[in-house]
Amino acid sequence: MRIFSPIMLAALLWCVAAPLATAQESDFEVKRNYELAYTTIRQRIDSATTVAELDSLLLRLNGLETQYAVKSRFLDKALYPDDFAGSIHKLRQYHGLTYERVYLIQTQGIAIKDYEARLTALEGRIDSLTTQNRQLLGDLKAARQSLTQLRERVRRLSAAMLSRDRLIFALVDTIFLPYDKDMQQVSDVQKEAIARKLLKSNIVARVYDIAADNVKFMEATQLQGKDFKGMFDQVQQFKTKWSGLREKLNAVAQTADAALLEKESSAPATTPGAAPGRKPATGKPRTPAAAAADSAAAAAQRLQLEQPAMFVDTALTQWEAGLQKAFWAGLAREFSSKGAPLQPFSDGAGFTAAIQSYVDSAKKDGRDVSAFVKEVWKEKVDKEWREVLERDEVLGKAQYASLDKMVSEIGEKQFDLKFLLYIVLAAAAALLIYWVFGRKPKPAAAKK
Amino acid sequence: MIRLREFPLQAIAVLLAAGLSSCASLRLEPTDFGWPVEGVLTVSASNTVEEPRQSVTFSVAALAAEEFQDSSALKGSTLRLLRNPEGYFFITGPRFEHVYVFAPSGGALCLEEKIRVTPEQENGRQGLRNPALNQRPPYVELLDEPGVRLLLTRDGIAEHSSAKGGNN
């Protein structure tokens, strides 16, 4: 056996070396084989999901470099504008970046399965909250109840919507977290995986729901001054979160495999009026007409998936506009309910003009505005509406301070005049008393 | 005084001298026209080939007629094209019995040499099987199965030898 083994080894070496020695090498074949091996390794790196896989690919990369090092002068010319060393360096860099990312995912306790479970749980809770919200919104529209009951329903609905919004963004975070370093560094395969999860979780539709439901909420309710702060905070938070998510979604949508989109969009069509990208909850057998309609809907859906940001942006704009409209209408109601005749307004500039006009006319007429200043401005506007009015997107701090000063001054002016009148009256009374009772009779001697 | 009988020869000599002197007045050398690797080109339905990397396109109808006596014989087949450092184009392909050497001239490729690379057969055609052209300055190497290796110049076969690689 010990004698036979070297013979076998020599035979094996001869079998391998002999064809190599006599093989006719076409330069074209050399270049093509190099490019083929290079592309294969790059694709394998791209799809690698474990560190072990990448270790094995590094060995292949080293082998490729060694195998073709003897032909480097030829490859330097043939691979122009790249060269042999440059192409190997690029592949090593790509391998290094992928290795870091895969290592991070594997070693930092990010267990994909845990996230999948969390995703499922979050989806369930969000769906439940969405159903609850819809029911509350329906009740609100149909309700003929006492003001207290209505307020309670609005409060519950508002809280439920906020909880659901938070959960949706938690869901988004969960999807992106394993890759959330830099979307530029995320490979196409991983972007496709993210796209698949986004589609599966109806993320675009859910985010759209946040904005769309808030628009409906604005239309269905009459909020009070103190309610608006939370609403403005909510829309601001949504804008910030959406801004961050939009870039990622676009990056994913651009890379997402057309076949994947085709496959997803060939699912049963969405119901009329449903949010963009929404998948139906149930799939019933379809007639040819329904299939045609589904096909058209699927095409529309694909378009919507490719440009998800556009639809949410539109809903967000509607939400912001609806909130502003509701706010200014609520403030106008506040004045009219207190019998303060302000000219109509629907934005910050209009409100400023209305107050200015009111103050000017009060000064001109010299009428008593103390009730306006005290009961409307100080008690209601300053206490319940000021926080929102001071927001930059509403009126702004400086503008509110200017109006507050203007209104306070007319109040002070009225107070000063009264005070002066009281002083004059008191002085006159004192003088009269003195004249009647305080004057001493002239002495008798003087008469003499 | 120039006699009428001698005028044409003198005129030709003067024109040649002028032409040569204009070429000789400015020469950029050495110039290397060589491609590092051959182009493997598929003949299109319109009987043309295109080497996109080098931006060369030409018709092969006349080449097919010359080699196969059929101007459409090359449609769909592959050709091997390589330019040597001197600027000559070497063209051959499967079933070819020759390597053609062309020089570019005024928007055309002009045949410089037609090199027979397979033995003449009385019965039937014995063309190349799977040829490849490699740049081996100052030669162009022709490889074919089984074990054929020829070193070519623009004038013909410089050397027959056993096959060995050497493109590093």
pLDDT at A12: 45
Q: Is the pLDDT of residue B78 over 70?
A: yes
Which range scores top for mean pLDDT: A18-22, A125-129, B60-64?
A: B60-64
The closest CB to that of B143, out of A24, A73, A78, belongs to: A24
B55 CB near a chain A CB, below 8 Å? Answer: no
| B-contacting residues in A 54-93 (Cβ below 8 Å) | 70-74, 77-78, 80
Report whether the peptide linkage leading into residue B138 is cis, meaning its omega lies within 30 degrees of zero: yes
Q: Is the pLDDT of residue A103 over 70?
A: yes
Question: Tokens in use for B125?
Answer: 């055609």
Residue of B nearest to A25 (CA): B165
Closest to B126 measured CA to CA, from B162, B104, B96:
B96
Whether A23 sits inside 8 A of B163 (CB atoms) is: yes
DSSP-assigned states of every residue in B48-90:
EEEETTTTEEEE-HHHHHHHHS-TTTTTT-EEEEEE-TTS-EE
Q: Which of A12-16, A243-247, A384-388, B10-14 has the lowest mean pLDDT?
A: A12-16
Closest to A225 measured CA to CA, from A351, A353, A326, A375:
A326
B52 CB near a chain A CB, below 8 Å? Answer: no
For residues A277-296, average pLDDT? 48
Residue of A nearest to B168 (CA): A71
Strand partners, B116: B98
Sign, Cα dihedral of A405, A406, A407, A411:
positive
Which range scores top for mean pLDDT: A124-138, A141-155, A313-327?
A: A313-327
Q: Are A246 and A309 in contact, with CB atoms under 8 Å apart?
A: yes
pLDDT at A64: 95
Q: Is the pTM of this model over 0.80?
A: no
**Hey, is B19 helix, strand or coil?**
helix
A18 CB near a chain B CB, below 8 Å? Answer: no
Which single residue is written with the structure tokens 């949010």?
Answer: A275
pLDDT at A323: 86
For residues A102 and A58, what is the distance between their CA atoms, to the nearest angstrom? Answer: 14
SS3 of chain A: the string is CCCHHHHHHHHHHHHHHHHHHHCCCCHHHHHHHHHHHHHHHHHHHHHCCCHHHHHHHHHHHHHHHHHHHCCHHHHHHHCCCCCHHHHHHHHHHHHHHHHHHHHHHHHCCCCHHHHHHHHHHHHHHHHHHHHHHHHHHHHHHHCCCCHHHHHHHHHHHHHHHHHHHHHHHHHHHHHHHHHCCCHHHCCHHHHHHHHHHHHHCCHHHHHHHHHHHHHHHHHHCCCCHHHHHHHHHHHHHHHHHHHHHHHHHHHHHHHCCHHHHHHHHCCCCCCCCCCCCCCCCCCCCCCHHHHHHHHHHHHHHHHHHHCHHHHHHHHHHHHHHHHHHHHHHHHHHHHHHCCCCCCCCCCHHHHHHHHHHHHHHHHHHCCCCHHHHHHHHHHHHHHHHHHHHCCCCCCCHHHHHHHHHHHHHHHHHHHHHHHHHHHHHHHHHHHHHHHHHHCCCCCHHHHC
Whether B134 sits inside 8 A of A73 (CB atoms) is: no
Question: For residue A381, how far is the Cα from the chain centroid?
Answer: 30
Q: Of all residues in chain B, what percent carry a pLDDT higher than 70? A: 80
B167 CB near a chain A CB, below 8 Å? Answer: yes
Report whether the peptide linkage leading into residue A81 is cis, meaning its omega lies within 30 degrees of zero: yes
The closest CB to that of A31, out of B37, B145, B149, belongs to: B37
The identity of residue B44, as a single letter, is S
Question: Tokens in use for A421?
Answer: 């009148």
pLDDT at A365: 79
Whether A27 sits inside 8 A of B134 (CB atoms) is: yes
Which single residue is written with the structure tokens 């370093």?
Answer: A181
What is the length of chain A? 448
pLDDT at A4: 44
For residues A165-193, average pLDDT? 68
Confidence class for position A280, pLDDT limits 50, 70, 90: very low
Q: Is the pLDDT of residue A356 over 80?
A: yes
- Residues near A214 by beta carbon (within 8 Å), at least 6 away in sequence: A161, A231, A234, A235, A319, A322, A323
Strand partners, A408: none
Burial environment of residue B41 by CB neighbours within 10 A (0 to 12, 13 to 18, 19 or more): buried
Q: Is the pLDDT of residue A17 over 50?
A: no
For residues A240-260, average pLDDT? 66
The identity of residue A24, as a single letter, is Q
**Helix A188-200 vs helix A147-176: crossing angle, to nearest 10:** 160
Whether B134 sits inside 8 A of A31 (CB atoms) is: no
Q: Are B37 and A27 in contact, with CB atoms under 8 Å apart?
A: yes
Q: How many helices (H) and strands (E) does chain B have?
A: 2, 11
Compare B152 and A112 and report the one with higher pLDDT: B152
- Chain B nearest C-alpha distance from A68 (Å): 9
- What values do phi and psi take at B152, rounded to 5? -115, 150
- Residues near A283 by beta carbon (within 8 Å), at least 6 away in sequence: A267, A268
Whether A23 sits inside 8 A of B134 (CB atoms) is: no
Q: Which residues of B touch A27 (CB under 8 A)?
A: 36-38, 132, 134-135, 167
Q: Which residues of A touch B167 (CB under 8 A)?
A: 25, 27, 30, 71, 74
Q: Are B131 and B94 in contact, with CB atoms under 8 Å apart?
A: yes
**Hey, is B92 helix, strand or coil?**
strand
Q: Is the pLDDT of residue B32 over 90?
A: yes
The closest CB to that of A25, out of B40, B144, B167, belongs to: B167
Compare A183 and B114 and report the one with higher pLDDT: B114
- What values do phi and psi take at B103, rounded to 5? -120, 140
Q: Which residues of B touch A73 (CB under 8 A)?
A: 168
The closest CB to that of A71, out of B80, B163, B167, belongs to: B167
For residues A129 and A167, what is the distance between their CA atoms, to the nearest angstrom? Answer: 10
Q: What is the mean pLDDT of chain A?
A: 74
The identity of residue A340, as a single letter, is A
pLDDT at B79: 96
Among A27, A34, A66, A70, pick the best mutation site for testing chain B contact (most B Cβ within 10 A).
Answer: A27
pLDDT at A23: 59
For residues A76 and A80, what is the distance between their CA atoms, to the nearest angstrom? Answer: 6
Which single residue is written with the structure tokens 């080098």?
Answer: B54
Q: Which residues of B touch A34 (CB under 8 A)?
A: none
H or E element that contains B94: none
Kindly indicate whether the ipTM for this predicted assembly is greater than 0.90, answering yes or no.
Answer: no
pLDDT at A443: 62
- Residues near A384 by beta carbon (within 8 Å), at least 6 away in sequence: A224, A225, A226, A334
Helices (H), chain B: 7-25, 61-68
Confidence class for position A415, pLDDT limits 50, 70, 90: low
